[in-house]
Amino acid sequence: MNSKRIIIAVIGVLGVAVIVAGVRVSSSGSTKNVYPGYPRIPATHAPVGGPRISAPAPGGNTANGASNTSYSYNWSGYAANGSNGQYHGVKASWVQPRIIPTGGSSWQDASFWVGLDGSNSNTVEQLGTEGYYRDGTILYDAWYEMYPAALVTLSNHVQPGDHLTASVSRSGRSYTLTIKDSTEGWSRTIHKTGGYHNSSAEAVAEAPYAGGILPLANFHIAHFTSTAINGKSAISERAGAIDMLSRSGTSYLDTVSPINSAGAWTAFWDSAS
């Protein structure tokens, strides 16, 4: 299949960075059909990063302070950035939000995940859950992705209100991705190998990509807890906040609360696009 590439930018003025993704996407990769009537077209959970452009318009979220908040067209959450090989693990828990369709688009999507890489590199080793609205149907699932390899949808059941815990850890070139749904009573562990940067770690609420960044589905709020990086609190690992901007850069799609010492924070849905 032919792949498509979009270039997304990162902003930086007086310590403020705007992030957008360099994305390459293939149309293949789902392990099962989850949309009634035809195969699901998987949304790819792509990395952020790229050249610096101008700072966002004033008047948005200032809870975390401009010097500690970056801005993305497709990510929000918390990320720690460092040098190659610096990160070996990330973990967080969250409650799967309920998706509420909004007008204007027949495909709206929101994903919640943890991962290594992607914030300052072109690979991501990640897993999480997703809720999306498409042509009148709302669906939820779990997935993992060793980007740029294709996303893999898991067969396990996910519903709004489920309590999830996910982690990505590595030892050398070996990666262990684990996700557990304590409400539904299932867990999955995936083992992969490969050579990746391991230069960032993050917990993210995302507007996935499928031929373009999809409208961010209205999830109202997403609560994350116990966010840890390299076995320590995200704060001690200097994780910085990421807020999601519209493509025009003049409004916010998703803003995040401050993170506390126990790794708890909240993502707030603001707009679809």
pLDDT at 44: 59
pLDDT at 7: 26
pLDDT at 9: 31
Secondary structure of the chain as H, E, C letters: CCCEEECCCEECECCEEEECCCEEECCCCCCCCCCCCCCCCCCECCCCCCCEECCCCCCCCCCCCHHHEEEECCEEEEEEECCCCCCCEEEEEEECCCCECCCCCCEEEEEEEEEECCCCCCCEEEEEEEEEEECCEEEEEEEEEEECCCCEECCCCCCCCCEEEEEEEEECCEEEEEEEECCCCEEEEEEEECCCCCCEEEEEEECCECCCECCECECCEEEEEEEEECCEECCCCCCEEEEEECCCCCCEEEEECCCCCCCCEEEEECCCC
pLDDT in tens for each of the 273 residues of the chain? 333 222 233 333 223 333 333 222 222 233 222 222 223 344 555 555 432 333 444 444 544 444 468 888 889 999 999 999 999 999 999 999 999 988 778 899 999 999 999 988 889 999 999 999 988 899 999 999 999 898 999 999 999 999 999 999 999 999 999 999 999 999 999 999 999 999 999 999 999 888 888 999 999 999 999 999 999 999 999 999 988 888 877 788 999 999 999 999 999 998 888
Q: Are 230 and 88 in contact (CB under 8 A)?
A: yes
Secondary structure of 31-98 as H, E, C letters: CCCCCCCCCCCCCECCCCCCCEECCCCCCCCCCCCHHHEEEECCEEEEEEECCCCCCCEEEEEEECCC
pLDDT at 15: 31
pLDDT at 141: 96
